Amino acid sequence: MENELLESAQKFRTITEQSFMGIAVMQDHKITFVNKKLSDIFGYTIEEMLNWKPRRVYQIIHPEDVENVMPIVERKYRGDIKEIKELQFRIIKKNGEIIWIEIFSRTVLYKGKEADLVSFFDITEQKEAENKLKESEEKYRTLFNEANDAIFLMDKEKVIGANRATLKIFGFSEISKFLGLTPYELSPKIQPDGQNSKLKTLKIVKEVLEENSKRFYWKLRRKDGTLFDSEVSANKITIEGKNYIQAIVRDISQQKKIEQELIKLNKFKSKMLTRISHELKTPLLSIKGFTELLKLQFEHQLNGDMLEIIEEIKKGCNRLESLVKAILSSAELESSDITLNKELVDLNEIILKSIKDLDGFIKSRNQCINFTLEQKIKAFIDKEQIYNVLNNLITNAVKYTPSNGTIKINSHLNGTFVIVSVEDTGIGLTKHEKSKIFQRFGKIERFGQGYDVISEGSGLGLYYSKEIIELHGGRIWVESKGRNKGSKFSFSLPL
């Protein structure tokens, strides 16, 4: 049937011209027929290829592939093999472009003589995809083998593959002895959270296969029985249609040790700050008390300059007293010794009390206070601590807003939270300043910069406020469009 079809030149041409593959008929190493598709693949015209001398077609084979291709072609012409299947190699097109092709060749009868019917497929895109996949696999293999973290592949809970770092971290000498183990066999029976390692492993495996990824802390055991802390990242991967788990295990024993040392140092520092602050309070009270006594008993004997000096001493004592108080509060927060005495209170009452208590300070700066408060806001809070937070925010607004400025205080409900904000028309904050404003001693220095502001302060007020608000389950934040564009400090509290 095939030979009859080839003998019918008209039918043969019709079929080949409609084909999606390049087709050529070769007799005695010369092209005697070529379709339009092959002309497009090679970049030569049909006339050019039909006029090629015998063996001219082989000149377009890439030089590096000639040694592989030509022996197969010669064997086919000698009759040693009946057909050529899936032979892949590169050719150089007329415009110099290099492409990959795949050919199939078999012997047929064409115009009464034996000929080779050759089919050509352009597989350049396929090859490029294969090369990219190969490169990706090589990169993954390099990362897998050279990684400092342990990486192993699991079929459900059993290890079926692992990298070199796994052996080093777990203390195994051969990979074969590690394969087949399970995470719970490489762990103490009970994890630090009190859960059974085996049951927890099976639960995590199920979750990862369903949810794709999970990151968690895990206590592991080396071959010699020593325990170590680790951070595990587990991900679902699919290989040939089957789901596996890839686990990346990082030994964080040293990190945990450093963290514990830092916690100890932090507690020691807090204790030292507390002790020093208490030691400062006694002489400070003496200085303050004797200054008051000096003024009270000898005021009529002192001239104006002397009285002014006494007032400066009192102001210095007050500043130092505020700083000592702030340090003590900060140390108390860090040591986790602070206990919130929560009760159900009207938040608006605290806001109004703060405004009233600061009335003298506000008037001294000739500030205008506007407030819009939500009616009857009841919240379960530590009354004194929230009063201190509000006092800090309003005091800062007054201090950092030039004279004759405006301060707006607002409270409103937002779902299950109440939002309180203190907005001013002051000197504002830059992006960098906003990033550090809530840090301990994160005070932005304004002294000597020509602003009509009060620059005194410990730099602990906003840090303290942030810690208190977060202890209540809320959060605190600041908004500012930049220098001289005012600031808006807000905090949320759960109802």
Is the pLDDT assigned to residue 13 strictly greater than 80? Answer: no
- Which helix (DSSP H) or strand (DSSP E) does residue 455 occupy? none
- The answer to whether the CB of 208 falls within 8 A of the CB of 214 is yes
Same fold: 2-128 with 147-251: yes
- Tokens of residue 434, six digits: 């906003």
Buried b (16+ CB within 10 A) or exposed e, 382-409: bbebbbbbbbbbbbbbbbbbbeebebbb
Mean pLDDT value of segment 14-34? 83
Q: Show the DSSP H helices in 115-174 as ranges.
A: 124-146, 164-170
Residue 129 has φ and ψ, to the nearest 5°, of -65, -40
**DSSP secondary structure letter of residue 52:** P
**pLDDT score at 1:** 44
Phi and psi of 455, rounded to 5°? -90, 0
Tokens of 252: 């964080």
For 441-456, what is the mean pLDDT? 55
Q: In the chain, what are the domain boundaries?
A: 2-128, 147-251, 256-334, 342-494
| Mean local confidence (pLDDT), 72-99 | 92
Task: Give the Cα separation of 398 and 362 in Å (integer).
Answer: 6
pLDDT over 90, % of the chain: 43
Distances 444 to 35, 46, 86, 465 between C-alpha atoms, Å: 80, 80, 74, 16
Which residue, 378, 383, 377, is CA-closest to 341? 383
Answer whether CATH 3.30.450.20 is correct for domain 2-128. Answer: yes
342-494 folds as Heat Shock Protein 90 (3.30.565)
* Nearest-angstrom CA–CA distance, 62 and 155: 45
The C-alpha atoms of residue 80 and residue 338 are separated, in whole angstroms, by 93
Please state, in angstroms and rounded to a whole number, the distance separating the CA atoms of residues 96 and 59. Answer: 13
CA atoms of 36 and 22, how far apart (whole Å): 7
CB atoms near residue 352 (< 10 Å): 15
Closest to 439 (Cα-Cα) out of 398, 476, 480, 488: 476
Give the CA dihedral 292, 293, 298, 304, nearest 10 degrees.
Answer: -10
The pLDDT assigned to 176 comes to 87
Helices and strands in the chain: count of H runs, count of E runs? 16, 17
Q: Considering only 5-19, 222-236, 328-342, which range has the smallest mean pLDDT? A: 5-19
Q: Using 50, 70 and 90 to split pLDDT, how confident is the model at 279?
A: low
List C-alpha distances in Å: 112 to 3, 6, 33, 50, 324: 9, 9, 14, 19, 111
Cα gap 227→426, rounded to integer Å: 56
pLDDT tens digits along 286-316:
777 778 788 888 888 888 888 888 888 887 7
Q: How far is CA 441 from CA 457, 458, 461, in A?
A: 9, 7, 9
Q: Which among 168, 163, 139 has a CA at the least distance from the CA of 151?
A: 163
Q: Which two tokens stand for residue 145?
A: 């083998």
User: What mean pLDDT is predicted for residues 333-356?
Assistant: 84
Residues 162-216 pLDDT 10s: 888 888 899 998 888 899 999 999 999 999 999 999 999 999 999 999 887 899 9
DSSP 3-state of 436: helix
Backbone angles phi, psi at 487, to 5 degrees: -140, 155
What radius of gyration do the chain's Cα atoms show?
Answer: 41
pLDDT at 276: 66
CATH superfamily of 147-251: PAS domain (3.30.450.20)
* Phi, then psi, of 482 in degrees rounded to 5: 130, -175
Which two tokens mark 152? 């192993």
Which of left, alpha, beta for 79 (phi over 0: left; psi -120 to 50: alpha)?
left
The overall pTM is greater than 0.85: no
Q: Which CATH architecture best describes the domain 256-334?
A: Orthogonal Bundle (1.10)
